[in-house]
A and B are shown apart, each in its own frame.
Chain A
Amino acid sequence: MSDVTMLVSLALIFGSMLSGFATFRMSGMRLMPHFIALILAFVLTIGTFITPNTIVFYLAILFQILAPITVCGTICNIIKTQYQTTGIYSSHLALMGMLIVMAIGNLLMYI
């Protein structure tokens, strides 16, 4: 595990949480699986700095990948039917896109 990579991931998750709250309010509070995945990713990523346990590391990576995937159901529908409001969601989407690349990269470097 690279501490620097994980720190960047943590920054991305924290940024995603803040931008996610705005989208969560806008869309009628309907992103529950995604919301939970993102919070768990945040907690587990912090956990990797506290404990050297590899299970925590793998779980953090798993949730860093799951969080962007769980947003698909909602965001695909919004992109398809309500694309004029996607500007509001774009900062959150950008951070989610970066997070999944970081998570996969981190995993490949570790293996």
Chain B
Amino acid sequence: MIKEINVKSLRSPAMLVEKVIEKTDGGILVIETDGDSQIKEISELIKKMGYKMEVDGTDIKVSIGEIEASKSINVVGASCPGPILMVGEVLERMAVGEVLEIIAGPNAFTDLTEGLKSMGNDILSAEKTDGGNYKILIKKEEKKKELGVSLDIDEVFIINMTGTGNAEKAYATFMMADVAQNMKLKPTIFLMFDGASLALKGECDKVKHPAFPKLGDKLRAAIKSGVKIYVCEMSSEFRGVDKKLEDGIEIAGAPTFFRFLSKPNARPVWL
């Protein structure tokens, strides 16, 4: 259970916090404060009462006993981008305000906490378990708009320039698109120079790393899920692949490239 209280502008916030904690059976108490002096006073009280707490900006999160999660998922053993995709799928079906418990391996810990935070969710607690894994509790939230001068980035522009000649970058192109979609970022892929080879019909089917699905399947799945893939007109003509493109891939030129590159809400990813 998560309880939220606001102690802003109170002269002795510790008194109110103490009363609330006494009446709370278990869960997380989020205390909104107005700054350092209130945080200091409340921290001293919580330390005295023997509870675990965490300061996040001007908020204090106090853990009182165990929190009951609505759902639980174990992603131990899955490698990037598996954990964030699996968690994203479960979160999609959960209601705002519900708590999800994630058991993750040490490699996925940072990816999950950072990724889920940027999706707007609230990390309630993250602790190491005896087995060396991590238990993360997150509360599903709506994605908040960034305040101030910073812009809300909701698109990624993935540019591949190496093609299947560099299989790792070829795989990364479609995996990044997968993760972006999962994080509610709209991905657009642009294939240029050697990257144009990825657009050639059947070319991606020749690449199959033992640890991953066939590259051709990743490409077709990306197109099916709505990822727009453009191939540079000049690069595809240079390589003679312009007449034999995979279905769903469009030829584009410099104006399209620059339009995406200059979009204020999009970030480019060069591969």
A28 contacts B194, C-beta separation under 8 Å: no
The reply to whether B239 and A85 contact each other, CB–CB distance below 8 Å, is no
Q: A81-B197, A84-B194 are in contact. Are A27 and B167 (CB under 8 A)?
A: yes
Closest to B211 in A: A29
Interface size on A, residues (CB 8 A): 15
Report if A82 contacts B (CB, 8 A). yes
Judge whether A81 and B241 touch: CB under 8 Å: yes
Q: B203 and A81: CB pair below 8 A?
A: yes
Chain B hits for A80, CB < 8 A:
239-240
In the complex, the answer to whether B163 meets A28 with C-beta atoms within 8 Å is: no
Report if A78 contacts B (CB, 8 A).
yes
- Cβ–Cβ < 8 Å partners of A78 in chain B: 165
Q: Is the CB of A27 within 8 A of B193?
A: no
Contact status A29-B209, CB under 8 Å: yes
Q: How far is the CA of A29 from the CA of B208 in the complex (A)?
A: 7
CB distance B163 to A82 under 8 Å? Answer: yes
Question: Contact between B164 and A28 (Cβ–Cβ < 8 Å)?
Answer: yes
- Encoded as 1 (CB less than 8 Å from any A CB) or 0, chain B from 195 to 233 comes to 011001001001111100001000000000000000000
* In the assembled complex, B70 has its CB within 8 A of some CB on chain A: no
Whether the Cβ atoms of A85 and B194 lie closer than 8 Å is yes
Query: What's the minimum C-beta distance from A76 to chain B, rounded to whole angstroms?
Result: 13
In the complex, what residue of chain A is closest to B171 when comparing beta carbons?
A28
A81-B167 in contact (CB<8A): no
Find chain B residues with CB under 8 A from A30 CB: 206-208
Interface size on B, residues (CB 8 A): 25
Asked whether, in the complex, the Cβ of A28 is within 8 Å of the Cβ of B215, the reply is yes
> Does B24 sit within 8 A of A, measured CB to CB?
no
CB interface residues, A 61-98, toward B, < 8 Å: 77-78, 80-86, 88
Evaluate contact between B164 and A27: CB separation under 8 angstroms. yes
Q: Is A8 in contact with chain B by the CB < 8 A criterion? A: no
* Known A81-B239, A85-B194; contact A28-B167, beta-carbon cutoff 8 A: yes
Q: Tell me, in angstroms, the Cα distance from A81 to B162 when the chains sit together.
A: 10
Q: How far is the CB of B250 from chain A (nearest CB, A)?
A: 19
Interface residue? A18 (CB, 8 A)? no
Cβ–Cβ < 8 Å partners of B197 in chain A: 81-82
State the CA gap A77–B239 with chains docked (Å).
10
Q: Is the CB of B207 within 8 A of A28?
A: yes
Interface residues, chain B, with chain A CB atoms under 8 Å away: 161-168, 170-171, 193-194, 196-197, 200, 203, 206-210, 215, 239-241
17 additional A-B pairs beyond A27-B167, A81-B163, A85-B194, beta carbons within 8 Å, are A26-B165, A27-B164, A27-B165, A28-B208, A28-B209, A29-B210, A30-B208, A78-B165, A80-B240, A81-B196, A81-B241, A82-B163, A84-B193, A85-B162, A85-B165, A85-B166, A88-B165
Chosen A-B contacts, 25 in total, with CB atoms closer than 8 Å, are A26-B166, A26-B168, A27-B164, A27-B165, A28-B164, A28-B170, A29-B208, A29-B210, A30-B208, A77-B203, A78-B165, A81-B194, A81-B203, A81-B240, A81-B241, A82-B164, A82-B194, A82-B239, A84-B161, A84-B162, A84-B165, A84-B193, A85-B162, A85-B166, A88-B165
A positions within 8 Å CB-CB of B: 26-30, 77-78, 80-86, 88
